[in-house]
Structure 1
Amino acid sequence: MSFGRPTTWWHKLATIFRRPQPPSQFVSSRLDTTAVIQTPRIFSAPFQVDNYLESDVVIVKDNHKLFKLSRPLLPGSVINLSKGHVTHDSLIGRLPGDAVVGNKGIRCRIEEPSLADYVRHSRRIVTPIYPDDAEKIVSKLDINAAPVPDEQGDGQCASFEILEAGTGHGALTMYLSRAVSAFNPPMTTLDADGYETWRDRRRAVIHTIDVSAKHSKHARKVVKEFRRGIYLHNVDFHVGSVSDWVTEYVQKSGGRPRLAHAFLDLPSPVDHLDVVSSALLPSGKLMIFAPSITTILECYRTIKMKQLDLYHSSTIEFGNNGATGGREWDLRQVIPRKSKPFTREVLAETGTQSEPEQHVGSRATDASNEPEDIPLEVASEEIAELSSSPEEVVKSESESREDLKWVCRPKVGDRINGGGFLGIFIKRNEHRE
């Protein structure tokens, strides 16, 4: 065996078949680093702090691993700790990970806050959507943001727009902005005119609206102070009624729907379902965040009664006080076993079998009173066939409404107290299913 020649697979094959060997510069399966260096960068550079400047926000940790989120750094200000304080002047100009000493000799370390830490500990005037819940919501949108080269910014209108109704603290606003940030071209140092040009070239925009000007102003401040406003420029803040804004927004686009998704975190989301759903693109998701399951039920019922172009996808329960959640609920409308004759006929024609309901955490009930798994759409279609006019259809549906029952339960396990519920509805295509 010769130690002067590399024993690659090509040399072994050449020895076997007696073929001439390739030049010494044979092709390697490794990535050509020169090609990577010469390729123009289309990804925006990751956020990295060289040194802390005035108005930055930092985390200060002591020896006991207790940390505190600072206010924006300002000369002359201090961060009060459990023992003593640390001056902002001693932090300005430092690097992440540096150690500083407080006025009482306590050794502390400064770090860059993560988005989750910032949401949990930033100053609030309303309850935020906690990081675990916000990440779950964004993951359900299934956003696949592709990087956009700077040279492709041709001034076209934004093609991916999300509505967040109920800005609140601005926590979900930052998570949504982070999810779509790769859609937009990189932002460099621009003057006023250049910044407006960049805004017109954005490919993704988060429209967040709140009825309270105070809440909207505070949320904008919260977003701006995180990592020097890294997620601020993808967001447009609005103040006013959701329905009024959406109506005006659709009129500006010639009556065409433009929203890829919509998120409602409102006291009465049922009042805005018809307007918001009309602005959604086909297959767009309408998410409703509510503190109780009854609000999701009310929205479900309104969608059915108004025959909106939405269908229910899933309902998820979140944990309490920011705890991990995500349990899915079974939410549907059925007709009990003892119902009108046409219901039994529909069962026979469609071949639907009666399955007894499993009541969670309760004793068994009489099987004759248990609801059958008959979809509401099947019953509505049968009512339409037996009626000869739209007025009779409405009358028949109102008469049979007393026979409708709701299935509302966790799909697995016993019921626990939750911190909120997320109802997900999807926009149908132009032709109703």
Structure 2
Amino acid sequence: MINYVIKRFQHTFQPYEIVLARLLSKPSEKFHLSKPLKNGEVINTGNGPIRHEDVIGKPYRSLITSSKSSSHQYMLCKPSLEEYVVNKRRHAQPIYPLDASLIVQLSDVHADFPDMEFGPSIDVEKPASFQGLDLSDEYDLFLQGRLERRNIQVQQGIRTSAPPKQYLECGTGHGSLTLQICKAIHSGNAYYNGNDSTRGSILHSLDRNAKHLATGVKNLKHYDRGIYWTDVEFHLLSESEQGPSQWLYSPTATYYRDIVGRLADRPGGFLNGAFLDIPSPQDHLRSIAQHLVAESPLIVFVPSITQLWDCLQQIKTLGIPLSMTRVLELMSSSGGGGMREWDLRRTVVRETGKGSMVARPKVGIRVVGGGFVGIFKKLPADSFVRTWE
């Protein structure tokens, strides 16, 4: 616990941390993202190298000069997640961080850690600032009941038998979306100690391209000294596995044998959310939907609006229990970020009576930028509703 507290209050660069060295005279134009800090390594700049050992132990925002030029000063900064993702070497086109964060926010993915034995129970009193609020007595009793049940579980050492929440990402790529999903679920693993009973959330991230997967793994592993490393199980699909649906039954998926294998046939599904950034996502909707828990989100990211139409066609043709709730366009800009809502639906031409498609922005302005996000929700098995007419 002492080491953990010390780490929380450190404000100096530590081994294996990433640093962004900004040229002080042009901090927004000239900067260099380091590898994980390690003795013997250097940050190569146009004005000579900066040794990693000269950075380790320095406070954030310190100034330093390269070994060849004392006239060029660099400010040592802790990079934001956006700066980290945008400036990492890439083998696959990333979903830019602002867009990726919006996608995760729209999915409403969140997590809590499982109930465990943390120590003696604590009688938590309502803060003084709440005393004057007009809260419902019934609701206060409900909250008090939750607290009492949790205290009883703590005293008796009872742990919930519920499995951790499971999320699926198809298309690891650069790892940008992976990192954003981990931000949302990381709190569920606050007390993870290697035992799955202490794990609240798991992200399964898979890719068919070994080079892309290796890049995504490295980018996640190096970010903030591996803070999200234990939140993800990575899977590489073999050439014989045609898509993410095959991963559910793949013998090469190591985690399948431990957790997924026990849950894949569970009535009502076992996935609490899925994110698809792959070609032809419509071909995998049925197999993934059958493993989604009711009301769980399925997020599809595609470059063309017609690909979302293909998804809708597949849902209707095969009777897949999914309902599209929103369609949004990712707007192009210098760093990504921003969305515009679209109207995508089936309609009937009044003059001819024939079916047609409506695909247009919900506001009447020029279409720019690239990328569309379709948000689907899993319907209960006995309540598939045709939402086309």
Question: TM-score higher than 0.5 here?
Answer: yes
The equivalent residue for 1:356 is: none
* Pick aligned residue for 2:43 from 60, 75, 79: 79
- SS of corresponding position for 1:422: strand
The equivalent residue for 1:348 is: none
Residue 150 of structure 1 deviates from its aligned partner by 5.6
The equivalent residue for 1:216 is: 213
The answer to whether structure 1 residue 98 and structure 2 residue 103 are counterparts is no
* Pick aligned residue for 1:122 from 67, 72, 88: 88
The amino acid across from 2:315 in the alignment is I
The answer to whether structure 1 residue 258 and structure 2 residue 255 are counterparts is no
The equivalent residue for 1:329 is: 342
- Per-residue Cα deviation, 1:390-416 (whole angstroms, up to 9, x for no partner): xxxxxxxxxxxxx32100000002232
The equivalent residue for 2:246 is: 244
Q: Tell me the C-alpha RMSD between the 2 structures.
A: 2.6
* Pick aligned residue for 1:425 from 366, 376, 389: 376
Distance 1:239 1:252 in 2: 20
- Bigger Rg, which one: 1
Distance 1:75 1:108 in 2: 19
The amino acid across from 2:57 in the alignment is G
The answer to whether structure 1 residue 61 and structure 2 residue 22 are counterparts is yes
* Pick aligned residue for 1:175 from 150, 174, 180: 180
* Pick aligned residue for 1:415 from 361, 366, 374: 366
Residue 185 of structure 1 deviates from its aligned partner by 3.2
* Pick aligned residue for 1:292 from 304, 314, 323: 304
Residue 92 of structure 1 deviates from its aligned partner by 1.9
Residue 116 of structure 1 deviates from its aligned partner by 1.2
Residue 245 of structure 1 deviates from its aligned partner by 1.2
- SS of corresponding position for 2:182: helix
The answer to whether structure 1 residue 267 and structure 2 residue 262 are counterparts is no
The answer to whether structure 1 residue 166 and structure 2 residue 171 are counterparts is yes
* Pick aligned residue for 1:136 from 102, 109, 120: 102
The equivalent residue for 1:364 is: none
The equivalent residue for 2:194 is: 196
Give the total of aligned pairs: 323
1:200–1:221 distance in 2 versus 1, CA, 3 Å: farther
Range moving further from structure 2, 64-73 or 329-338 = 64-73
Does the 8 A contact of 1:247 with 1:275 survive in 2?
Answer: no
1:149–1:254 distance in 2 versus 1, CA, 3 Å: closer
Q: Structure 2: where are the runs of 5+ without partners?
A: 119-157, 238-242, 251-255
Residue 165 of structure 1 deviates from its aligned partner by 0.4
- Per-residue Cα deviation, 1:275-317 (whole angstroms, up to 9, x for no partner): 0111111001111100111111111111111111011111110
Distance 2:163 2:365 in 1: 45
Does the 8 A contact of 1:149 with 1:185 survive in 2?
Answer: no
Residue 146 of structure 1 deviates from its aligned partner by 3.6
- Per-residue Cα deviation, 1:313-355 (whole angstroms, up to 9, x for no partner): 1111002264322100000001111345xxxxxxxxxxxxxxx
The answer to whether structure 1 residue 51 and structure 2 residue 17 are counterparts is no
Range moving further from structure 2, 159-168 or 60-69 = 60-69
Does the 8 A contact of 2:42 with 2:51 survive in 1?
Answer: yes
The amino acid across from 1:253 in the alignment is L
Does the 8 A contact of 2:277 with 2:301 survive in 1?
Answer: yes
Does the 8 A contact of 2:85 with 2:176 survive in 1?
Answer: yes
Distance 1:334 1:238 in 2: 41
- SS of corresponding position for 1:56: coil
- Per-residue Cα deviation, 1:157-189 (whole angstroms, up to 9, x for no partner): 5332111000001111111111111112335xx
Residue 226 of structure 1 deviates from its aligned partner by 0.8
Does the 8 A contact of 2:304 with 2:372 survive in 1?
Answer: yes
The equivalent residue for 1:344 is: none
Residue 95 of structure 1 deviates from its aligned partner by 2.2
Distance 1:176 1:303 in 2: 26
Percent identity of equivalent pairs: 34
1:272–1:102 distance in 2 versus 1, CA, 3 Å: same
Does the 8 A contact of 1:220 with 1:237 survive in 2?
Answer: yes
1:215–1:323 distance in 2 versus 1, CA, 3 Å: closer
Distance 1:183 1:68 in 2: 34
Distance 1:129 1:47 in 2: 30
The equivalent residue for 1:315 is: 327
Does the 8 A contact of 1:161 with 1:260 survive in 2?
Answer: yes
1:163–1:254 distance in 2 versus 1, CA, 3 Å: closer
Q: Structure 1: where are the runs of 5+ without partners?
A: 1-39, 188-194, 341-402
- SS of corresponding position for 1:89: helix
Does the 8 A contact of 1:158 with 1:205 survive in 2?
Answer: no
The amino acid across from 1:278 in the alignment is Q
The answer to whether structure 1 residue 89 and structure 2 residue 53 are counterparts is yes
Distance 2:31 2:317 in 1: 52
Residue 234 of structure 1 deviates from its aligned partner by 0.7
- TM-score by structure 2 length? 0.76
Distance 2:159 2:174 in 1: 34
1:417–1:149 distance in 2 versus 1, CA, 3 Å: same
- Per-residue Cα deviation, 1:375-399 (whole angstroms, up to 9, x for no partner): xxxxxxxxxxxxxxxxxxxxxxxxx
The answer to whether structure 1 residue 305 and structure 2 residue 311 are counterparts is no
